[in-house]
Structure 1
Amino acid sequence: MQYSESLLQAILRQDFCSFINKVFNSVNPGTEYKSNWHIELIAEYLEAVHHRQIKRLIINLPPRGLKSLCISVAWPAWVLGHDPSKRIMAASYSQVLSIKHSMDCRLVMSSDWYKQIFPQATLSKKHNQKSKFLTDANGFRFATSVGGSATGEGGDFLIIDDPHNPLQVNSLKLRHRVIEWFEQTFITRLNDKNNGAIILVMQRLHSEDLSGHLLSNSDHWEHLKIPVKASENIKFYINNKEYEFLAGEVLHQERDQTEHLLKLEQEIGLQAFAAQYLQEPIPQKYSLLALEDIHFYETIPDRFDYFIQSWDTAIKVSENADYSVCTVYGVIENIYYLVSMLRAKLTYPDLKKNIEQLAGKYQPKFILVEDRASGQQIIQDFKFNGFKNIIAIKPKLDKVTRFASVVPMFQASKILIPKKSSFNSVLLQELLNFPNSKNDDIIDSISQCLNFSKEARYSMTVRIRDL
C-alpha cells in the first residue's frame, strides 16, 4: 500500500513512535530498524512528559535498547519541532557522549524530511554549536556532562542519560558526587519549578546509583522499569493503553535469545547482569563475592604456560600495619590457579629477600608490584639488579571498583584456589567479607593480577608478517 507524501509527513508529525523510526534511519543509515513494543511504550511515556502529564520520569532499560536514541536524540527534536521556543538541557556522564547525542539531534533537525514536517523549527545560523544549538524562536538543546558547568542556562525539560560511569559506580565517593551534582546543580536549572519536567534514563548499575537514590527518597517519580527478560507477568498502563510482558519472555524477540543471555550472564557475572539487564541491582551491603562464586581445584596441573606473581607491599611491622602479600598464579589456557600465597609483616630487607626467593622458585613471566610507597623502591632496586620481568602497576580506580571488575572471573571459574591449603582460612575470610573486611591486602594483590591480565589480553593485536 502506497502512502502519499503528505500523509507520511502527517504521520511523522503526529505519531512519535513513527518519528523514532525515521530518526533511527537518519542517524544509522544502512542499518535495519527493528521495531519493538518497548519502543512504543517509551514513546507513550515521553508523550506524557511532553504534555506535562508526567513531570518526573525514571526509565531503566538494558543496554542497546535504543534508550538514548529515543530520549536524547529523537525526543528533543520532536519537542522543538512542535514548539521551537522550548529549551532542553541534556547531560551524560561523559561530555563526549553528551556531544554525540547533541550532534545526532542536530543532524535530524537539519535533514530535509524534518524541515518538511516541522518547517517552523529552523536552526539559528548565528548560534549552531555542537554542545548548544538554537532555533530561530530562541529555543535550544544544550549538552553538558555530569559535574559540568551549566551556569546561566535553564531548561523547560531536563534529561539525564546514563549519569554514572560504569567503571566508577562501585566508588561511594563518585556515586555521591553524581547525586550531589543532580540535587545541587542540575535540578535547579528548571525554568518553571511547577511545570518543568525531568527525565532520568539509565541502565541500573548499583543499588545506590542515582535511580536507586531517587526512588528510595521520593515518591514523586514515575518509574518505567523494563528488564531484558520477565521473571513474572508484567503489565504497563499508559494513556489508556496496556502492554503485557509475560513471564519467561525476552524483551526483543528478534534480538535477544535466552541462550545468548545465559552466556552473557556468565561473562559479566550475576551482579552486573542483575543490575544492567534485569534492572534489579543486588544490594551492596554484603560482600562482592559469595561462596558459590569461588571455585576450587583438588589437583594441580603437571605444567603451566607461565607464572605470575602479584605483590602488594608494606614495610612496617607494627600491630596496626598492613601486610605484605604476594599471590602466585600458574596460568594455563587463561585459567589462573592460585598456587601459593605469602602474607606477612616484613621489614624492607626481608621483603626483598622473599621477592628474590619466590622469583627463583617460580621463574615468573611477570612480577607485578604496585607503584607507590614501598613498592616504588622495590621496583627501582630490582630493575637495577637486572630483573626485567618487574612490572610497575599504577592503580587508576579505587579498591572496590578494581575488585568488582574481576568478580566475573571468579564466577566464570577463570580463577581457581586450592581446596586445601595453609592460607585458605585467611584468604576466604577476606574474599567473602570484602569490602567490609578488616584487611584488604589479599584483595589488592588478586585484583592487581587479574586486572593486569585482562588489560594485557585486550591490548594484544594481530601482527601480519611482511611477505
Structure 2
Amino acid sequence: MTPPPPSPEPDRDHRRQSARRNLVDYARYIEVPGAPRTDDEDTEGFAPVETSLAAHHVLTLEACQRCVERPGGRLMLFMPPGSAKSTYGSVVLPSFVMGAIPNFRMIAVSYATPLARKLGRRTRSVVRQPAFLDLFGTRINPENRAADEWALDNGSEYMAGGVLSGITGNRADLIVIDDPIRGRQDADSETIRKRTLEAYEDDLLTRLKPGGSVVIIQTRWHEADLAGTILPENYAGESGQIACRDGNIWEVICLPAKAERADDPLGRKPGDYIWPEWFGPSHWAQFERNPRTWSALFQQRPAPDTGSYFKREWIHLVDHLPPRETLMVYGGSDYAVTEEQGDFTVHAVIGIDPNGDPWLLDLWRVQASSDVWVESFCDLVRKWRPVGWAEETGQIKSGVGPFLKRAMMERGAYVAREQFSTAAGNKAVRAQSFRGLIATRGLRVKRDAPFVAELIAEMMSFPVGVHDDQVDALGLVGQLLDRMTAGSAPKAPAVRPAAYEIEDGYVLAPELPGVRRRG
C-alpha cells in the first residue's frame, strides 16, 4: 500500500494575512529579537529569543492589541523581572502597529534615554527583517534612522527618550512607558516620584493625539510609583477593566511571580509560578528571601519599608524555631466564609517561649471554600497541638460552626476554641493587644518561611492597606494571649547519683561515712 502523502505545511499566504491582522500571529511570523550579540551598547545585532511564546506572552500581546484598537485605550502590564514583558510590549507591539498602520506615530520612554535607545534599536532590528518587508511592504527611511528617532517609508515614525528628559515636538498615536523607575533608590525618593508623575502628565500626555493609546509596562517598585498614583486607592492586585483615579478605564494585567488570587489571569492556582517551562522554583527562591523585594518587584504588591501601625524593626527574621516542647502554642483564624467575594482565610499559630517572647510558627492564607480551610485548620491543630484558638464570633455562626466541629471530632484535632466579638471596635483597636506585645518583645519569624514577604507587606500597610486578613488573625491571637501562659525551659536531664560499694552490693546514696565510693 502506498503511504499517504505528508500533510502540507500551513498555507504561507494564510499565515501572512493573519500576521498582518493579529499581533500574536505577527510575533510568531517575525524573528523576535532577544539578547544583543555583542556587549556594544550601540549594537544592531540581536539573537532571536530562546523560547517560544508562553501563555503570559500571548496574554500580553492580546491585551496590547485591544489597547491600540480601542480609542483612548489604556493598558498597564505588571510582571516580574525576566518575564520578557519589554520584548513583547515595547518591541513587538510598536513594530507591528507602525507597519500595519501608515503614518502611525509612536513614542517610547523609559527611566533613562540609553535604555529607551536600546528599545529603539531592538524595534528597528525587527523592521529591517525580510519577514517584516514581506508582511507590510515598507522599510526604514534612510533619511531618518537614528536609534532614538527613525521612520518607515510608509510615513510611520518612532521616537524614544528618557521619561525625565522631556519629550517635545512629536505627537503620538501610542505612548509606551517601559520601566519609568530606575531602581530602589529612585523609587524611594519622593522627589523623583513626583518628577516622574509630572513628566507623565505634563510632557507625555500632552503629546498624545485625540484617541491615542497609552501602555505602561513595569514592575511595582513602590506603592506611590507611576502606576500606583493612577490606580484606585483600593486596588488589590486584580486584573481586568479598572476605573482609575485619572478618570480613565485602564485594562490591567497583573501577573505576580507566584499566583495568589483565585482569579489569576493565567488561570493558575495559588502557589503556581509564572513561566514554569523556563524558570524553575529555585530561580524564584533566591528572591523570596528578601521580603520587600519579593512583595514589590515579583508579587506586584509594594508596601512601605516601615508602617505607621506596625514597625519593621519589630519583626525579627531568624534561622531556626525553638523546640516545640518549650513553647505554649496558640492559634487564631480570620475566616472568609464567602469564597466568591475573593476574601482570604488565614490561620495563624503563635508560640510563646519561656521569656514571654512570641514566635510565628505557621501561617496559612488562601482564597478557598470552607471545606478546604476547615481541613487546613485541622492539619495545623494536629501539627502544633495549641492550647487555645481564637476566632470571630460572627464568622463562625454563619453556618460553618457545626461542620468545623464535626471535622475536628473526625480528625482528632482537639483544641479549645474561643470566640471574640467584632463589636469591640475597629480592626486597629482589635489588633492593639498584638501590637503592644510585638512592640515590646518583637515577633520572631523564620527567615525562609513562605509567608514572610506577604505578611510584612500587609503589616507595613495596616490599617490602610488593601488586605488585612493576616493582621486580623494575629490580632485575634493577641486577644487570646492577654490571658496567656509563657512556655517553659526544657528540664535538665536527670543526673544519676554515683554508685557506692558496701561489701558485695551497691547503694545509690549521698556520701556516707565509712562507705567506700566505687572506682
Q: How does the TM-score come out when normalised to structure 2?
A: 0.52
Q: Give the secondary-structure state (helix, strand or coil) at the position aligned to 2:222.
A: coil
Q: How does 1:353-372 map to 2 (within 5 A)?
A: none
Answering whether residue 307 of structure 2 is matched by residue 291 of structure 1, we say no
Partner of 2:294: 273
Partner of 1:102: 120
Q: Give the Å deviation of 1:285.
A: 5.8
Q: How does 1:204-243 map to 2 (within 5 A)?
A: 204-216=220-232, 217-218=245-246, 220=248, 221-236=250-265, 243=266
Answering whether residue 279 of structure 2 is matched by residue 263 of structure 1, we say no
Distance in 1 (alpha carbons) for counterparts of 2:446 and 2:319: 12
Q: Give the secondary-structure state (helix, strand or coil) at the position aligned to 2:278.
A: coil
Partner of 2:22: 15
Answering whether residue 311 of structure 2 is matched by residue 282 of structure 1, we say no
Partner of 1:178: 196
Distance in 2 (alpha carbons) for counterparts of 1:40 and 1:112: 23
Q: Give the Å deviation of 1:284.
A: 4.6
Partner of 2:214: 198
Unaligned residue ranges in structure 2 (runs of 5+): 1-6, 35-45, 233-244, 321-444, 449-458, 461-519
Distance in 1 (alpha carbons) for counterparts of 2:136 and 2:319: 64
Q: Give the Å deviation of 1:279.
A: 0.6
Q: How does 1:47-446 map to 2 (within 5 A)?
A: 47-52=65-70, 55-119=73-137, 121-167=138-184, 168-192=186-210, 195-216=211-232, 217-218=245-246, 220=248, 221-236=250-265, 243-266=266-289, 269-284=290-305, 286=307, 289-293=312-316
Unaligned residue ranges in structure 1 (runs of 5+): 237-242, 298-409, 414-431, 434-467
Q: RMSD of the TM alignment (CA)? A: 2.7
Q: Give the secondary-structure state (helix, strand or coil) at the position aligned to 1:29.
A: strand
Partner of 2:506: none
Deviation readout 1:31-63 (Å, 9 max, x if unpaired): 522321111111111111121166111111111
Instruction: State the one-letter code of the partner of 1:144.
Output: G
Whether contact under 8 Å (2:139, 2:152) holds in the other structure is: yes
Q: Give the Å deviation of 1:134.
A: 1.2
Instruction: State the one-letter code of the partner of 1:275.
Output: A
Whether contact under 8 Å (1:95, 1:144) holds in the other structure is: yes
Partner of 1:464: none
Instruction: State the one-letter code of the partner of 2:22.
Output: D
Distance in 1 (alpha carbons) for counterparts of 2:292 and 2:181: 16
Q: 1:31 to 1:137 in 2, by over 3 A?
A: closer
Q: Give the Å deviation of 1:296.
A: 10
Distance in 2 (alpha carbons) for counterparts of 1:44 and 1:30: 21
Distance in 2 (alpha carbons) for counterparts of 1:54 and 1:227: 27
Instruction: State the one-letter code of the partner of 1:150.
Output: I
Q: Give the Å deviation of 1:94.
A: 1.5
Q: Give the secondary-structure state (helix, strand or coil) at the position aligned to 1:199.
A: strand
Deviation readout 1:389-448 (Å, 9 max, x if unpaired): xxxxxxxxxxxxxxxxxxxxx9979xxxxxxxxxxxxxxxxxx99xxxxxxxxxxxxxxx
Distance in 2 (alpha carbons) for counterparts of 1:30 and 1:15: 20
Q: Give the Å deviation of 1:30.
A: 5.5
Instruction: State the one-letter code of the partner of 2:214.
Output: I
Distance in 1 (alpha carbons) for counterparts of 2:319 and 2:275: 37
Q: How does the TM-score come out when normalised to structure 1?
A: 0.58
Deviation readout 1:238-264 (Å, 9 max, x if unpaired): xxxxx5222222111212333432232
Distance in 2 (alpha carbons) for counterparts of 1:411 and 1:145: 41
Q: 1:294 to 1:156 in 2, by over 3 A?
A: same
Whether contact under 8 Å (1:144, 1:150) holds in the other structure is: yes
Percent identity between the two aligned chains: 23
Instruction: State the one-letter code of the partner of 1:201.
Output: I
Q: Give the Å deviation of 1:23.
A: 4.6
Distance in 2 (alpha carbons) for counterparts of 1:157 and 1:31: 25
Instruction: State the one-letter code of the partner of 2:19.
Output: L
Distance in 1 (alpha carbons) for counterparts of 2:319 and 2:10: 65
Deviating above 3 A after TM superposition, structure 1's stretches of 4 or more consecutive aligned residues are: 21-28, 287-290, 293-297, 410-413
Deviation readout 1:166-218 (Å, 9 max, x if unpaired): 142111111111111111111111121xx111111100001110010111333
Q: 1:62 to 1:210 in 2, by over 3 A?
A: same
Whether contact under 8 Å (2:33, 2:87) holds in the other structure is: no
Whether contact under 8 Å (1:206, 1:284) holds in the other structure is: no
Q: Give the Å deviation of 1:19.
A: 2.2
Q: Give the secondary-structure state (helix, strand or coil) at the position aligned to 1:252.
A: coil
Q: Give the secondary-structure state (helix, strand or coil) at the position aligned to 1:156.
A: strand
Deviation readout 1:99-123 (Å, 9 max, x if unpaired): 011011111001111100111x332
Deviation readout 1:78-112 (Å, 9 max, x if unpaired): 10111121101010001111001101111100111
Whether contact under 8 Å (2:319, 2:447) holds in the other structure is: no
Q: Give the Å deviation of 1:148.
A: 1.1
Q: Give the secondary-structure state (helix, strand or coil) at the position aligned to 1:77.
A: helix
Q: 1:30 to 1:43 in 2, by over 3 A?
A: closer
Paired residues, what number? Answer: 292
Partner of 1:340: none
